[in-house]
């Protein structure tokens, strides 16, 4: 195992160095801010340190790349073999088809093409069923289940290969192996973040792409603070791009009997904070920005730089593909610390995207939402229930 330390001016620079030296298969062990060295170091912006590890004995190729490379090589070989041996298809002295001489040759040609097609189809089938990493049979079963439930191959194999390296699973019974796998996945997911009541006013920002349910999620958490914790709460919305979002939040503010302020420019936020000086908690609904719009992302960054005692939640939909999630979290890498909320978990059968996101961000999971009802359909993520779904176990069993 190779362990290396990377330091950058920001998280993006440190991650770039990490990926350049260790590649995308590296596992992040921890991330922290460190003071710069020297007498005046305390006056300078802190650096970001990332410690990562990679197995230097095993290089795991990406499945898609390995499949494609082998497929192209074998397919080319098969076609060249057929074409070179069949002069009725390709003429020996030119590059165009010759005139068919008789029906017998035509039948032979058709038979050859049919056989070639069957060969290619058999090869494709074998490639699809091919397993890149050899695991003991009990762990291969869990890999299959995790893939079926949306976990990325590289992440499933990171977890299971570590078990294989540390434990002789072939000597364990089924229940023991199940418990080991559960423990390993749980350790990989980390402890969910549970908000605590600290001293002083807390400002909570909700960020994320359009259509993930930020406003409804904010309303659920607002109700929790008002009804269960009896806190003084103020609402702020910067989502003036959607009239429906403003009206929706106004409705919730009336029901909960809490004030709401609307800001049209980032500069107005300081005035809002002065008006809410008596509030225990301020919940801020940011506009649903496209993660591909640089200008809009800069507006979000400016808003997040205000306030002192703050929490930031990145709200994501469980119905979003992992590839899109990767794009989203890359655009939010200017944020040093945030927690993750997954919405719409009741609308999807596979929840592997949650484990994938945890792996790619190394940020703590927090709430999940399980429906549209306010305030009921929200809870701190239950890792045991999630793991059951990832390994194909019915939670009712």
C-alpha triplet 275, 277, 279: angle, nearest 5°: 105
How do the domains of the chain map onto residue ranges? 2-54, 63-128, 137-189, 202-390
pLDDT on residue 58: 45
In the predicted model, is pLDDT for residue 88 greater than 90? no
The phi and psi torsions of 29 (rounded to 5 degrees) equal: -90, -45
In the predicted model, is pLDDT for residue 372 greater than 90? no
pLDDT on residue 274: 86
The C-alpha atoms of residue 126 and residue 129 are separated, in whole angstroms, by: 5
Q: Taking residues 275-282, what's their average pLDDT?
A: 91
pLDDT on residue 318: 94
Query: Which segment of 64-68, 122-126, 161-165, 304-308 scores lowest on mean pLDDT?
Result: 64-68
pLDDT on residue 66: 44
pTM: 0.65
**Higher local confidence (pLDDT), 320 or 130:** 320
DSSP state of 201: -
The C-alpha atoms of residue 52 and residue 335 are separated, in whole angstroms, by: 20
Structure tokens at 380: 């701190």
CATH pick for 202-390 out of 3.40.50.1820, 3.40.50.300, 3.90.550.10, 3.40.190.10: 3.40.50.300
Where do the DSSP E strands lie in the chain?
A: 2-8, 27-34, 47-54, 202-207, 233-237, 260-262, 281-285, 310-317, 339-343, 365-369, 378-380
pLDDT on residue 260: 92
**Higher local confidence (pLDDT), 388 or 111:** 388
In the predicted model, is pLDDT for residue 206 greater than 70? yes
Residue 248 banded pLDDT, cuts 50, 70, 90: confident
For 306-359, how does the pLDDT look when each residue is reduced to its tens digit (9 = 90+)?
666 789 999 999 999 999 999 998 888 888 889 999 999 999 989 999 999 999
The C-alpha atoms of residue 171 and residue 168 are separated, in whole angstroms, by: 6
Which residues sit opposite 282 in a β-bridge? 203, 234
In the predicted model, is pLDDT for residue 139 greater than 90? yes
In the predicted model, is pLDDT for residue 62 greater than 50? no
The phi and psi torsions of 7 (rounded to 5 degrees) equal: -125, 135
pLDDT on residue 12: 79
Residue 109 banded pLDDT, cuts 50, 70, 90: low
Q: HEC states along the chain?
A: CEEEEEEECCHHHHHHHHHHHHCCCCEEEEEEEECCCCCCHHHCCCEEEEEEEECCCCCCCCHHHHHHHHHHHHHHHHHHHHHHCCCCCCCCCCCCCCCCCCHHHHHHHHHHHHHHHHHHHHHHHHHHCCCCCCCCHHHHHHHHHHHHCCCCHHHHHHHHHHHHHHCCHHHCCHHHHHHHHHHHHHHHHCCCCCCCCCCCCEEEEEECCCCCCHHHHHHHHHHHHHHHCCCCEEEEECCCCCHHHHHHHHHHHHHHCCCEEECCCHHHHHHHHHHCCCCCEEEEECCCCCCCCHHHHHHHHHHHCCCCCEEEEEEEECCCCHHHHHHHHHHCCCCCCCEEEEECHHHCCCCHHHHHHHHHHCCCEEEEECCCCCCCCEEECCHHHHHHHHCCCCCCC
For 173-201, how does the pLDDT look when each residue is reduced to its tens digit (9 = 90+)?
999 999 999 999 999 999 999 988 777 88
């Amino acid at each position: 195992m190779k362990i290396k330390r990377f330091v950058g001016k920001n998280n993006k620079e440190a991650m770039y160095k990490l990926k350049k030296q260790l590649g995308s298969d590296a596992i992040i062990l921890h991330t922290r801010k460190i003071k710069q060295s020297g007498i005046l170091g305390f006056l300078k912006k802190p650096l970001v340190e990332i410690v990562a590890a990679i197995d230097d004995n095993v290089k795991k190729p990406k499945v898609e790349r390995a499949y494609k490379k082998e497929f192209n090589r074998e397919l080319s070989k098969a076609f060249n073999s057929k074409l070179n041996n069949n002069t009725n298809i390709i003429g020996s002295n030119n590059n165009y088809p010759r005139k068919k001489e008789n029906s017998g040759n035509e039948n032979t040609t058709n038979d050859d093409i049919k056989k070639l097609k069957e060969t290619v189809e058999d090869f494709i089938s074998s490639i699809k069923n091919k397993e890149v990493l050899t695991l003991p049979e009990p762990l291969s079963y869990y890999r299959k289940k995790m893939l079926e439930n949306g976990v990325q191959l590289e992440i499933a194999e990171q977890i299971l290969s570590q078990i294989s390296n540390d434990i002789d699973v072939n000597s364990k019974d089924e229940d023991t192996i199940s418990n080991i796998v559960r423990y390993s996945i749980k350790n990989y997911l980390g402890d969910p973040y549970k908000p605590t009541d600290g001293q002083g006013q807390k400002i909570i920002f909700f960020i994320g792409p359009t259509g993930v349910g930020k406003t409804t999620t904010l309303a659920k958490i607002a109700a929790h603070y008002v009804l269960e914790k009896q806190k003084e709460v103020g609402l702020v919305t910067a989502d003036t791009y959607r009239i429906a979002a403003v009206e929706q939040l106004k409705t919730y503010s009336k029901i909960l009997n809490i004030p709401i302020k609307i800001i049209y420019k980032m500069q107005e936020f300081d005035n809002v904070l002065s008006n809410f000086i008596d509030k225990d908690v301020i919940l801020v609904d940011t506009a649903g920005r496209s993660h591909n719009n640089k200008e809009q992302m800069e507006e979000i960054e400016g808003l997040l730089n205000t306030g002192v005692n703050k929490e930031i939640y990145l709200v994501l939909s469980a119905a979003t593909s992992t590839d899109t999630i990767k794009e989203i979290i890359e655009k939010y890498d200017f944020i040093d610390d945030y927690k993750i909320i997954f919405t719409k978990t009741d609308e999807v059968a596979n929840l592997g995207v949650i484990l994938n996101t945890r792996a790619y961000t190394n940020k703590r999971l927090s709430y999940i939402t399980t429906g549209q009802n306010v305030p009921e359909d929200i809870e701190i993520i239950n890792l045991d229930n999630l793991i059951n779904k990832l390994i194909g176990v019915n939670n009712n069993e």
